[in-house]
């Protein structure tokens, strides 16, 4: 395991799983959200975000947490492990609400400095509630189109994520 890509809907546990895998494997964790935003929730230009993602993906070892459809094929060409967290909407919504409360007024560990956690109805509606309508089919297509050399995981529940982590611990102990 040298390069791992994790995708899924908002609140699916991408950042949490990436951090846990980083501890187990010693691989550096790359969070995509800070590549989208600068301080004060200012969104970067798409070209700047894309360049930052490609620069990070060019590194030799990483766990890449996050969706960025424009760079999926570039990252997929380099990964050896791909994880699709296909977690139900109700659980993702619960997780987003819980992290909002937990980090209220301060940045999450996987977010850009100067971007304090806040409640955002549009985010909830579009990125949590609208995931299956907007992005799920695309993520399934990424999984289905993975190159033969990539070890793929389609995790659909907390139990499956726990079992995956247990298997990684057994392998990397």
For the chain, give the DSSP string: --EEEEEESTTSSHHHHHHHHHHHH-PPEEESHHHHEETTTEEPPHHHHHHHHHHHHTSSSEEEES--GGGHHHHHTT-SEEEEE---HHHHHHHHHHHHHHHBTS--TTS-TT--B---HHHIIIIIITHHHHTHHHHHHHHHT--TTSEEEEE-SHHHHHHHHHHHHHHH-
Q: Taking residues 116-122, report their average pLDDT.
A: 94
Q: What is the pTM assigned to this prediction?
A: 0.95
Residue-level pLDDT at 172: 86
In whole angstroms, what is the distance from residue 21 CA to residue 36 CA?
Answer: 23
pLDDT tens digits, 57-77: 999 999 999 999 999 999 999
Domain range holding 42? 3-172
Tell whether the model's pLDDT for residue 170 goes beyond 90: yes
Residue-level pLDDT at 173: 72
Q: Taking residues 25-38, report their average pLDDT.
A: 96
Domains identified in the chain, total number: 1
Tell whether the model's pLDDT for residue 43 goes beyond 90: yes
In whole angstroms, what is the distance from residue 30 CA to residue 79 CA?
Answer: 13
Residue-level pLDDT at 119: 94
CATH assignment of the domain containing 106: 3.40.50.300
Q: Taking residues 111-117, report their average pLDDT.
A: 95
């Amino acid at each position: 395991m040298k390069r791992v890509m994790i995708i899924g809907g908002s609140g699916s546990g991408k950042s949490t799983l990436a951090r846990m895998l980083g501890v187990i494997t010693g691989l550096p964790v790359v969070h995509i959200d800070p590549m989208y935003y600068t301080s004060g929730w200012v969104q970067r230009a798409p070209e700047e975000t894309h360049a930052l993602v490609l620069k990070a993906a060019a590194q030799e070892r990483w766990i890449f947490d996050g969706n960025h459809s424009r760079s999926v094929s570039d990252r997929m060409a380099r990964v050896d492990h791909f994880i699709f967290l296909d977690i139900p909407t109700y659980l993702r919504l619960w997780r987003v609400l819980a992290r909002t409360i937990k980090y209220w007024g301060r940045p999450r560990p996987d977010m850009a400095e100067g971007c304090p956690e806040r409640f955002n109805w549009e985010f909830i509606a579009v990125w949590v509630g609208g995931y299956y309508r907007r992005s799920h089919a695309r993520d399934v297509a990424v999984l289905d189109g993975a190159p033969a050399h990539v070890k793929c995981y389609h995790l659909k529940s907390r139990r499956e994520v726990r079992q995956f982590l247990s298997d990684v611990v057994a392998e990397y102990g």
